Amino acid sequence: MFFETAKKSFLGINNKKDLGSKVVVVPFGLENTVTYGRGTKKGPREIIKASHQIELFDEDLGYEISDKTSIETLKIKPINKNTPQALSELENITLNIIKDKKFPLILGGEHTLTLGAISALNKSNKPITIIQFDAHTDLRNSYQSKKYSHACVMRRCLDLKNTNLISIGIRSTTKDEMSFIKKNNSRVHIFFAKDKKEWDLKRIEKLVRNKNVYITFDVDAFDPSLVPATGTPEPGGLYWDETINLLKIITSSSNIIGSDINELAPIQNHNASNFIVAKLAYKLIGLVFNRK
């Protein structure tokens, strides 16, 4: 694996090779099946650029996360236009990361990329609980005659053995997807955004307790007043403090084995969304490794 220099890496700091825990940031600007607002291929580069402006001290944890966790960034490479081949490439990248006992954090790119990471982690044959922060269920069996699409990614992940799904922040789905959810209610748990004032946080904690968890965060889970820079924004989304509170519950109760943040579609001369997503990535690293 080839890594970026400090100036081009996430946070823009030197990698600390002497630290025991290591995160590998994987920029993966997949944009093959986007159907409305475009620009996800530019997401990783803008997240990394914005991350250079983050103050490294975390007020919750009481230390600089980067002082305790080594963070390396893979070089950005062109993405294959054939989606299954692109996913296979990401699967191999993820396999190499976990073989080195490092933590994969993938920056997208469209949401389809999650399947590549889950396919790699699934090779351990251990049960995986996928936590999906998203406005959409992404459980279609196909979309526009494509089975490998951002609208189908969670369905494809559930095609794999030993996977189950907890979706948080949902506020857009279809009749067929709802039928699938009802038929698979032992594997799929939905927390609709409309009910967030009544969410049973203890139930979420119980669902993830001591599980191997992969977090996939579609930034359209956020309310568009917070992050408008995404392809299919939906009203009624999550806000920062409630999102971080959920991540604290999940990371403190489970074993987080990997993560991705996807669907940022940068808007020219609008840096707030890029910075919020970069801050989310840094915060997630801190919460995961504070537990580890």
CB-based contact 28:80 (threshold 8 Å):
no
pLDDT at residue number 271:
97
DSSP-derived secondary structure for 184-206: TTTTEEEEEGGGGGG--HHHHHH
pLDDT at residue number 17:
64
* Strand pairing report for 212-218 and 128-133: parallel
User: Look-up: residue for tokens 């997503």?
Assistant: 277
CATH architecture of the domain with range 6-291: 3-Layer(aba) Sandwich (3.40)
pLDDT at residue number 18:
66
Tens digit of each residue's pLDDT (9 = 90 or more) over 168-196: 999 999 999 999 999 999 999 999 999 99
Torsion (CA) 106, 107, 113, 117 in degrees, nearest 10 = 0
Q: Is the pLDDT of residue 47 over 90?
A: yes
Residue 289: pLDDT band (50, 70, 90) is very high
**Rounded Cα–Cα distance for residues 121 and 145 (Å):** 27
Which tops the pLDDT comparison, 67 or 18? Answer: 67
pTM of the model: 0.96
**Rounded Cα–Cα distance for residues 283 and 105 (Å):** 12
Average pLDDT of the segment spanning 68-97: 96
Average pLDDT of the segment spanning 131-157: 96
Tens digit of each residue's pLDDT (9 = 90 or more) over 90-101: 999 999 999 999
